[in-house]
A and B are shown apart, each in its own frame.
Chain A
């Protein structure tokens, strides 16, 4: 997911509304484990979904979290190891990294009782790829052969079926891609690839309000702005059988309100404690506090498309600026330990993460920083503007980074706030800036390719820098064509090794999940997506 997810999370938290009663009793004492009741539900902090609840339409946390519990795709990721594991798929075979033969497990059912068959996947993907259906995630299907016919850049689609998808029988189908993507199965864990029941296609809007999926939880009700109630689906066939009776997603306007409710056990698990509580939450919650790594990174990107920054010499300036930032101090003080200094462009915990890929350039060294900036001919005009969105809580660290740069190199560095996320994105994507901007990446799937291919490849959708490096592109292409995921991973590590020389973006730090849970639940663990292992949460009896 987009960097957007994080910024949007903050936005959503700041804007949605809420309420609701989960009629519940007060809980027992402190942390320790005790007996649990598999029939009881727990509540989770959420925000009102911004789109109808359709899998290919959820790219923000409010709707995304609900959908990932209502639907289950071919594969998902083990919450503790972030490794891929088979769910509806029995196996996914490929001999050439381009044609994938999918075998489904027998016995999976949708919540309405109909079986999950190959056509449910194929139909769902075709439907999601069709621009007429206005699905935000439709570009996820772009690897599949025939996507261009269904989803042309402009004009009428030539077809409503992607030619690369072929149903063999109820439990088998093949996916042919338009090019080699050795790690395609990793992408399949994204919610956009969920199957849809036959009934969905007759009334997509209705199903968007009352979704019917095949996941561990089934939809019960959606009181807008208040709560979405789910309950455990008894026929769920996945490897992660729920240990609780369901999840109630309570909508909160502010994380402060959610935190107040969490402390009084009116809310069971929350997303991220509010910034105001960061300093104290471990004291407040004791062993119910959570501090876990997340597959997300914060960067400062540069406008390599501008004459000022395009010359190869300026790479030295960017390396120097990176070395002038005291990441240790900023993460500890301004960010109160909620981030961990980055040493690579891929977040920690992601498959293929290589500690120290950034080398010395991510180490604080003011003397060398100054030297490098001088060698590179200095920052244009000796002034650096870092553009960011003022509604995402970024001001403090941008100012701290600027202070660090100013004190250590004498470069006049200033934050350049845009009023909100939309405005900042508009300025960044329309290439109106000249200097630096806040950017970042939240994993779509826990594989290093996601952090590299989607961001630094020439012309990649999220390459907002205008970075283009033949060496990087070659390495990435080779990695995509590798025979196994393991080879892909090492291929992308080679691609990542190219980045320090051009330094299109300065890695700052990795996100962490700073959260907690109430006295009523136990066994709450967060995965690298920043989500709890939903099905493993136990509600005390």
Chain B
């Protein structure tokens, strides 16, 4: 197990270099010059442009910029944005917000998704089952921004339970509504995955054995059925955590949450290389770690899986 983890961690190194290089090149090849764009439609002053480019190392060829960036990165310096703020500060302000938002959404989709999935999977064909299927189908077919606007109108404008936008991004209670909206699509997937998986395992031999042994229903469902049915769900959830963090742009925009999605979107628009590369790199690392955890969880769920 130890060597397996070590191997996986070592594998992250080339992925890390590959991603940063790729993102670096992509930002570099975006159309338009970021420094000239700072001047808007006024003609850019060549002396100032040259000076700013020099300050941000943008007057060097791409490979030198990359080496310079990586060199600084290993000294813990993520670079500086055009506002003069260190990128590490920007990330320190935005990541906690998005992590909270993503975790809230994650908990919401996991608990409710599993519950709904079990409810319908155990009673196939029942009224609850049909209801869950219809509801999840609806959620899957409605784009997330429509859901967000509906939630905003209903809960804020009509009912007045919450403010239309999040007034303090660090306040967990205000993040609940955006998190529910953000997690709703995945919730539908989790519920449907769980339902299918449980349906298949219900007919498995070991289930018949367990029932024949006269085990209590609670033990059968929770220890045998659920545990075996969770593997595809865990795979989905693991990758979804990363997707929630990177994919919160729309939700963050509508609810005015000051998270990583919005910072990233703005940085891409202004072509701020260091900010984009820094954020994406951290997102990639989160993604890698999450998928490693998922793989390790397999062994916990299914003792037959061994990592050597």
Contacts and interface: CB of A to CB of B under 8 A. Distances in A.
Given A51-B83, A139-B45, A225-B94, A21 B52 contact: no
B19 interface: no
B262 interface: yes
Contacts of B82: 50-51
A2 B42 contact: yes
Interface string B252-267: 1111111100110110
Nearest to B271: A422
A226 B51 contact: no
Given A225-B93, A422-B34, A264 B47 contact: no
A1 interface: yes
B40 A7 contact: yes
Contact of A132 (B39, B51, B253, B262): B51
Contacts of B262: 15-18, 225, 253
Nearest to B257: A19
Interface stretch (B20-28, B125-133, B165-173): B165-173
B96 interface: no
B168 A21 contact: yes
A18 B256 CA distance: 5
Contacts of B156: 260, 264
Nearest to A421: B37
Interface in A329-364: none
Contacts of A264: 156-157, 160, 163-164
B256 A420 contact: no
A11 B46 CA distance: 24
A426 B33 contact: yes
A15 B269 contact: yes
Nearest to B45: A139
A136 B168 contact: no
A16 B261 CA distance: 10
A2 B39 contact: yes
A3 interface: yes
B37 A225 contact: no
Contact of B31 (A134, A152, A263, A422): A422
A254 to B, nearest CB: 5
A7 B32 contact: no
Given A16-B266, A422-B34, A226 B258 contact: yes
B243 to A, nearest CB: 20
B40 A266 contact: no
A400 to B, nearest CB: 22
A469 B94 CA distance: 52
Interface in A134-173: 134-136, 138-139, 151-154
Contacts of A224: 85, 89-90, 93
Contacts of B30: 422
Interface string A113-151: 000000000000000000110111011000000000001
Max count, chain B CB within 10 A of own CB: residue among A135, A208, A224: A224
A21 B168 CA distance: 6
Interface in A417-470: 418-423, 425-426, 429, 439-440, 461-462
Interface residues of A, number: 66
Contacts of A82: none
B134 to A, nearest CB: 30
Contacts of B67: none
Interface string B40-79: 1111011110111001000000000000000000000000
Interface string A508-538: 0000000000000000000000000000000
A60 interface: yes
Interface string A31-72: 000000000000000001111100000011000000000000
B154 interface: no
Nearest to B260: A17
A139 B38 CA distance: 14
A139 B47 CA distance: 10
B197 interface: no
Contact of B166 (A19, A52, A151, A254): A19
Given A2-B39, A266-B165, A251 B32 contact: no
A4 B32 CA distance: 15
Contacts of A138: 45, 47-48
B36 interface: yes
Given A19-B167, A254-B253, A153 B270 contact: no
Given A4-B42, A426-B32, A426-B36, A253 B253 contact: yes
A252 interface: yes
B184 interface: no
A14 B252 CA distance: 12
B194 interface: no
Interface in A186-208: 205, 208
Contacts of B263: 17, 225
B188 to A, nearest CB: 25
Given A2-B42, A50-B83, A152-B47, A253 B55 contact: no
B56 to A, nearest CB: 10
B292 to A, nearest CB: 30
Contacts of B46: 153-154
Contacts of A60: 40
Contact of A17 (B36, B50, B55, B258): B258
21 contacts: A2-B39, A2-B42, A4-B40, A21-B168, A50-B83, A50-B270, A51-B82, A60-B40, A134-B48, A136-B45, A138-B48, A154-B47, A225-B93, A225-B262, A253-B252, A253-B256, A264-B157, A422-B36, A423-B31, A425-B41, A462-B41
Q: Which 9 A-B pairs have the closest CB atoms?
A: A4-B40, A422-B32, A17-B262, A260-B164, A461-B43, A4-B41, A2-B40, A15-B266, A3-B41
Given A19-B257, A153-B46, 10 more contacts: A1-B40, A3-B40, A49-B83, A50-B82, A225-B258, A254-B254, A257-B164, A257-B256, A264-B157, A421-B37
